[in-house]
């Protein structure tokens, strides 16, 4: 998930009703595992996040941002502040100034250390310097307006919270997603952005890439043909439809939660935010 989307998907839950199919990279990642992650992929987790999100316990567990989510958001805000106050990129105390804007001292030691390193990395090598920036989000703006995609056989709303969009010198539109931590880039996120760009920036050729702010590491640049984009759109439409059907099934017989959203318990449950309330959890909690 993008840093912006990472923080914002909880707001998104309130907007998702069984009556209106929607899709996003986040939904795609909950429906289908990334390559090599099949073993610990759990559909019940999607059920908690997308079907039971309004229950007080689920809401409380969802709202607890992990250290890595906080680092992601602060890193994104840091990049935004460097470009909002561009002179800070030239100042020797630029990192300190941005740290103060972010009120970094209020965070835990781990968060402070890692975000300070990210700010230092970016100050040393500001990737967006001299780029023609079209969009650069702080990461806490609220969820973007959905794109309504209507074709003969399907109709759905696409949500794509982009971190950054800029124009290359050859007029190519480049969508950049910032990352932190060690998770591998998931190409599907870039594909969702490229599909969104087809509707948001129709006069541009678009490419997408990732940049890990913590490791100062760029991904390859991802591009697709129009026919590949058609196939991606169809796949995402199926995901939207499947999820809507699951929501409807759950709504009709909500005592069958585990039959609609199948659990996949295991060691990975200890990293699941819902393990304390999940009756299938592989983690034994003293309070459960």
Count Cα atoms within 13 angstroms, Cβ side, for 189.
26
Q: Do 122 and 82 form a contact (C-beta atoms < 8 A)?
A: yes
Conformational region of residue 124, where left means phi above 0, alpha means psi within -120 to 50, and beta covers everything else:
alpha
DSSP alpha helix (H) spans, the chain = 3-15, 25-31, 43-50, 56-63, 67-84, 94-101, 109-124, 187-200, 226-252, 257-260
From candidates 28, 42, 150, 232, binder to ligand SF4 by CB under 6 A: 42
Smallest separation, CB 278 to ligand SF4 (Å): 3
Smallest separation, CB 268 to ligand SF4 (Å): 6
Of 80 and 261, the one with the shorter C-beta distance to ligand SF4 is 261
Tell me: does residue 45 bind ligand SF4 (CB under 6 A): yes
Q: Do 247 and 18 form a contact (C-beta atoms < 8 A)?
A: yes
Tell me: does residue 30 bind ligand SF4 (CB under 6 A): no
From candidates 74, 115, 192, 272, binder to ligand SF4 by CB under 6 A: 272
d(CA 279, CA 48) in angstroms, rounded, equals: 12
Smallest separation, CB 269 to ligand SF4 (Å): 3
Smallest separation, CB 175 to ligand SF4 (Å): 31
From candidates 177, 259, 281, 284, binder to ligand SF4 by CB under 6 A: 281
d(CA 140, CA 163) in angstroms, rounded, equals: 11
Interface with ligand SF4: number of residues (CB under 6 A): 16
d(CA 172, CA 177) in angstroms, rounded, equals: 16
Q: Do 164 and 127 form a contact (C-beta atoms < 8 A)?
A: no
From candidates 27, 31, 44, 118, binder to ligand SF4 by CB under 6 A: 44
Tell me: does residue 275 bind ligand SF4 (CB under 6 A): yes
User: Interface with ligand SF4 by CB under 6 A: which range of 21-29, 41-49, 184-192, 227-235?
Assistant: 41-49
10, burial (CB in 10 Å: exposed 0-12, middle 13-18, buried 19+): middle
Site string for ligand SF4, 234-263 (x = CB under 6 A): -----------------------------x
Tell me: does residue 1 bind ligand SF4 (CB under 6 A): no
Smallest separation, CB 3 to ligand SF4 (Å): 23
Q: Do 34 and 188 form a contact (C-beta atoms < 8 A)?
A: yes
| Residues in touch with ligand SF4 (CB under 6 A) | 42, 44-45, 48, 263-265, 268-269, 272, 274-275, 278, 280-282
């Amino acid at each position: 998930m993008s840093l912006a989307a990472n923080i914002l998907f909880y707001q998104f839950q309130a907007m998702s009703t069984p009556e209106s199919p929607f899709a996003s990279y986040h939904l795609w990642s909950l429906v289908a595992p990334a390559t090599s992650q099949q073993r610990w992929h759990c559909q019940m987790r999607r059920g908690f996040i997308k079907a039971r999100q309004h229950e007080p316990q689920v809401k409380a567990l969802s709202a607890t941002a992990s250290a890595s989510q906080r680092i992601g958001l602060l890193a994104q805000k840091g990049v935004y502040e460097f470009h909002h106050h561009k002179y800070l990129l030239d100042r020797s105390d630029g990192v300190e100034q941005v740290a103060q804007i972010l009120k970094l001292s209020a965070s835990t030691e781990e968060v402070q250390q890692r975000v300070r390193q990210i700010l230092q990395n970016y100050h040393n090598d500001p990737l967006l310097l001299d780029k023609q920036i079209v969009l650069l989000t702080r990461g806490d703006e609220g969820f973007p307006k959905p794109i309504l995609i209507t074709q003969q056989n399907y109709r759905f709303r696409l949500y794509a919270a982009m971190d950054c969009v800029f124009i290359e010198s050859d007029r190519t539109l480049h969508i950049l997603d910032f990352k932190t931590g060690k998770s591998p880039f998931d190409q599907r996120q870039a594909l969702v952005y490229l599909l969104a760009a087809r509707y948001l920036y129709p006069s541009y050729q678009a490419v997408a890439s990732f940049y890990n702010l913590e490791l100062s590491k760029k991904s390859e640049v991802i591009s697709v043909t129009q026919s590949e984009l058609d196939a991606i759109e169809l796949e995402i439409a199926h995901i939207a439809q499947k999820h809507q059907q699951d929501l409807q099934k759950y709504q009709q017989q909500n005592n069958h939660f585990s039959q609609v959203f199948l659990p996949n318990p295991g060691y990975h449950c200890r990293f699941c935010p819902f393990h304390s309330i999940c009756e299938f959890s592989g983690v034994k909690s003293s309070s459960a």
